[in-house]
Structure 1
Amino acid sequence: MRGQRLVAALMTALLAGCGPAVATSGPVPAGVGPAPERSYAVGMRQFTLDPDGRRPLPVTVWYPAQPSPPPPHTAGSLSDGPATPASPGPARGPRVRPGAPFAAGRFPVVLYSHGLRSLPALHAALTSRWAAAGFVVVAPAYPRTNQRARPFTREDVRNQPADAWRLIRHLVRLGARPGDPLGAHLAVDRFAAAGHSAGGHTTLGMFASGQSSPLRAGIVIAGGRMVAGPSRPLAPMLFVHGSADRIVPESIGRAAYARCLGPAAFLSLTGQGHGEYLTPGRPGFPQVLDTTTDFLRWTLYADRAALHRLPSDATAPDTTTFTTRALPT
């Protein structure tokens, strides 16, 4: 009953609007455990939202999965190793198993938006690691800007925040269906949005001024242009940008950071361009992975220890600089 009332209230907020986005502050709700201390196996599924509609959205989902059955032990085999930390190692990511059974429980949801001429799969190095850390990551392929779009239309980015909200409303409805294989594992009061480049613009557009939002946090990577009206987020925001980005100059991200009305942080990758720091093994990737993961743990799991780790996560001499505004202490 409590869960049904929660879903009904959230649907009302999504459809009608009832207040600004806020940071996670209270205890984690029923059905969601504390922030995980070990990493999960990762599964992957795909579906298409509104396949016969005007703007169909193919969606890739990475999620915490049940571990695969261990191989039979043979003589001389090694015993199980130590527990794996919640954030997988930077260079070696989780193995993704399509169709793997979900891990037990409900998990916070991160909606991830790709950039121009890109696809969700091209961001799996980051999104699969977030899933291993205890998040369901849903990534739409936007109909006019993805790598396979026919026709490709750069200006269609302005329509993508509405596509993203359409997907969130769909996920909330799934969460209200008893026994739905996806919805049963979604914590539909724990949404964040993230994206790279035009996907970062899309993410910021989801916080457009004058719109109510149940989003609890946003991560803008190499983005910051306003595409859906003025955006002055109240929810916690994390900006990630290369200081030598020639496609979306860092000044654009800095300007968006300055407009935030709530807690905000800015991770700058010294001398880097438009996204090489998103590739495992490249300078800055460990800092981006650890900072974004702990930012999500803080905002979606109410993990105060993760909040306090952010400065050390983000700091690497000669590689990064990290600034914050109004972060809790």
Structure 2
Amino acid sequence: MTGRRLVAVLTTALLAGCGSAVATTGPVPAGVRTAPERPYAVGVRQFTVDPDGPRPLPVTVWYPVDPSTFPGPVTALSWPPRPVGTPGARSSGPDRPAGPPSPGAEAGPSVRARAAVAAGRFPVVVFSHGLRSLPALHAQLTTRWAAAGFVVAAPTYPRTNLRARAFTRDDVRNQPADARRLIRHLVRLGARPGDPLGAHLAVDRFAAVGHSAGGHTTLGMFVSGRPSPLRAGIVIAGGRPVAGPARPWAPMLFVHGAADRIVPESIGRAAYARCLGPAAFLSLPGQGHGEYLNPGRPGFTEVLATTTDFLRWTLYADRTALRRLPTDATAPGVTTFTSRALPT
């Protein structure tokens, strides 16, 4: 098959919502909007999937909120993001992003617990944390994605999180199944009349994102031969197979520090090479395992813009966001960007 023919086939599959690359659970629900042009305020709530089961799964959810419902001014990112911050990085743990935001970094969106979800239905991003980490430690990204018009559901994995009583590194192999269990729970919520969260979920528009071991988990959700509701995936500083061979047809974005000593960039490159569908790779020369995930750190602006526009393209069919990807991801001396079979 020629490259032009492959692009045409994959583009048709993406936009039509059919085939193994972008399996869906039904037609586009009423109320799903086009990609928003202005940021939302952000709400947060928590619940537990299977609280009485053998693997209870606490979940933190960030979601769009109408800014007019906030009593005070809403602090939110401009779009596209402006350059922020100064050089510098420091590590805070094996699978956690490095350090707090740098002084002068742009503030994130306002967040309120249990605020009412904005009108309409929103695509869902399942975010997976790394070893000895927690969803809250990634709020610098998850809240910004929520402000951009996505519901972000982040499970706390039972045996690899920061507070796990029986920490077990090898339990990562069970996490793709946990994440799929969360997706099934959200689909059920979406079908429950009047549910305050489920009524706003576009349950045919899921993507998976993860950092480090969470990136391995994300890739494990695309195991070859297994039906998937996922339209796209983003693997950050990850790429090891944990649940069988993964050769995704769905669009995939890989983000990796070229000097990562915890998960070498070669691991991410190998996973990128195995993708059968559209794929892109954002590399950060000289950077390690996650310092670029913090506001004010070199590369944060590019990572935020690239991941957000990738989600806007794959979950909102926003072709303008697709065309922005090479510009989002290119900062001389800070990032490099390669892609394969992305539609034009």
Q: TM bucket by the smaller chain? A: 0.7 to 0.9
**Corresponding residue number in structure 1 for 2:260:** 245
Aligned pairs for 1:1-329 (under 5 A) are 20-22=20-22, 29-67=29-67, 69=69, 84-85=78-79, 91-329=106-344
Partner of 1:21, secondary structure, is helix
- 1:12 matched to which residue of 2? none
Q: CA deviation at 1:229?
A: 0.3
Residue 99 of structure 1 deviates from its aligned partner by 1.0
Quick one: which amino acid aligns to residue 177 of structure 1? R
Residue identity matched to 1:270: P
Secondary structure in 1 aligned to 2:20?
Answer: coil
CA distance in 1, matches of 2:63, 2:177: 24
1:199 aligns to what SS in structure 2?
Answer: helix
Describe the shift of the 1:111–1:88 C-alpha distance in structure 2 as closer, same or farther (beyond 3 A): farther
Contact 1:28–1:301 under 8 Å retained in 2: no
Q: For the Cα contact (< 8 Å) 2:23–2:228, is it kept in 1? A: no
Q: For 2:317 and 2:247, how far apart are their aligned partners in 1?
A: 23
Find the aligned partners of 2:212 and 2:76 in 1 and give their Cα distance: 38
CA contact (8 A) 1:21 1:214 kept: no
Question: Cα offset for 1:81?
Answer: 11
**Counterpart AA for 1:119:** L
TM-score, normalised on structure 2?
Answer: 0.84
Aligned counterparts of 1:202 and 1:284: Cα–Cα separation in 2: 24
Amino acid at match of 2:254: F
Structure 2 residue identity aligned to 1:254: R
Moved over 2 A (4+): 21-24, 27-30, 68-72, 79-91
When the two chains are superposed, the root-mean-square deviation of aligned CA atoms in Å is: 2.3
Query: CA separation in 2, counterparts of 1:49 and 1:221?
Result: 25
8 Å CA contact 2:123, 2:150 repeated in 1: yes
In the alignment, the residues of structure 2 paired with residue 88 and residue 36 of structure 1 have an alpha-carbon distance, to the nearest angstrom, of 18
**How much does 1:89 deviate?**
7.8
**Structure 1 position 22, deviation (Å):** 2.2
Distance 2:137 2:283 in 1: 22
One-letter code aligned to 1:234: W
The unaligned stretches of length 5 or more in structure 1 are 1-17, 73-78
**Aligned-pair CA distance for 1:84:** 4.9
| C-alpha displacement of 1:66 | 2.1
1:161-215 per-position Cα deviation (integer Å, ceiling 9, x unaligned): 0000000000001100111111000000000000000000000000011101110
Identity of aligned residues (%): 80
What TM-score does the superposition give when structure 1 sets the normalisation length? 0.88
User: What does the per-residue CA deviation read over 1:47-91, in whole Å, with 9 as the maximum and x for residues that have no partner?
Assistant: 01111110000000000012254659xxxxxx9999953768862
Does the CA-based 8 Å contact 1:38-1:86 persist in structure 2? no
Whole-angstrom CA distance in 2 between matches of 1:312 and 1:97: 33
Distance 1:30 1:68, change over 3 A: closer
CA pair 246-49 structure 1, distance change in 2 beyond 3 A:
same
